[in-house]
Amino acid sequence: MKLEIVQVGNPVLRQCARPLSLAEIRSPEIRKLIKSMRTCMHDAPGVGLAAPQLGLPLQLAVIEDREEYHKEVPEALLKERERSPVPFHVIINPSIEEIGNDRAEFFEGCLSLSGFTALVPRARAVRVTCLDERAQHKVIEASGWYARILQHEIDHLAGTLYIDRMQTRSFTSMENLAAFWKGKPVEEVKSELELKSS
């Protein structure tokens, strides 16, 4: 199954995705879709991919933050982002709640807004209740970058994009991120852009 990532402007990215039934989750079609989504996410490359990004309004997302993605990231930045590898897993029909009041702001991109990024405030920690690819009930408690990935992908299932939550003055191309902001602490970037703390 060859999948293509749809870009912003496609109406499916603004729809609320529908839940999957237990029979659908256990079907060969969904197993095949999950396998194809994993390949598509790796090829992109990305750390998460939701079914609506492939034109499918289903409450299904795949997530994996591979160790190899961290090799080019400075240790200080990994620490600031609270980022560590996350093994491959599937979330289906998720619900999400914030844990505590701590917020974090970092540059965030999206495979459906190719070539752009912005500072996005998110909850630092979340609890996600969902089903896995075997239709087993699962509760995930996550913090740091993993919590950000979960929030980003679950937003997709509700028709929300990071541009709906971003600090608009920070919106930039990836080229300009590399040219002007790469390696700078978020607070310094916010100060230069005259952004208020979230």
Please name the residue that has the structure tokens 């709906």.
164
Separation of first and last alpha carbons in the chain: 42
Kindly tell me the burial class for residue 158, based on how many C-beta atoms sit within 10 Å of its own C-beta (0-12, 13-18, 19 or more): middle
Q: Which of 66, 77, 90 is nearest to 154 (CA)?
A: 90
Kindly tell me the burial class for residue 75, based on how many C-beta atoms sit within 10 Å of its own C-beta (0-12, 13-18, 19 or more): exposed
Distance CA 90, CA 148 (A): 16
Of the candidates 24, 141, 153, 175, the residue annotated as catalytic is 153
Per the annotation, the verdict on 192 as an active-site residue is no
For residue 17, how far is the Cα from the chain centroid? 16
Active site positions, annotated: 153
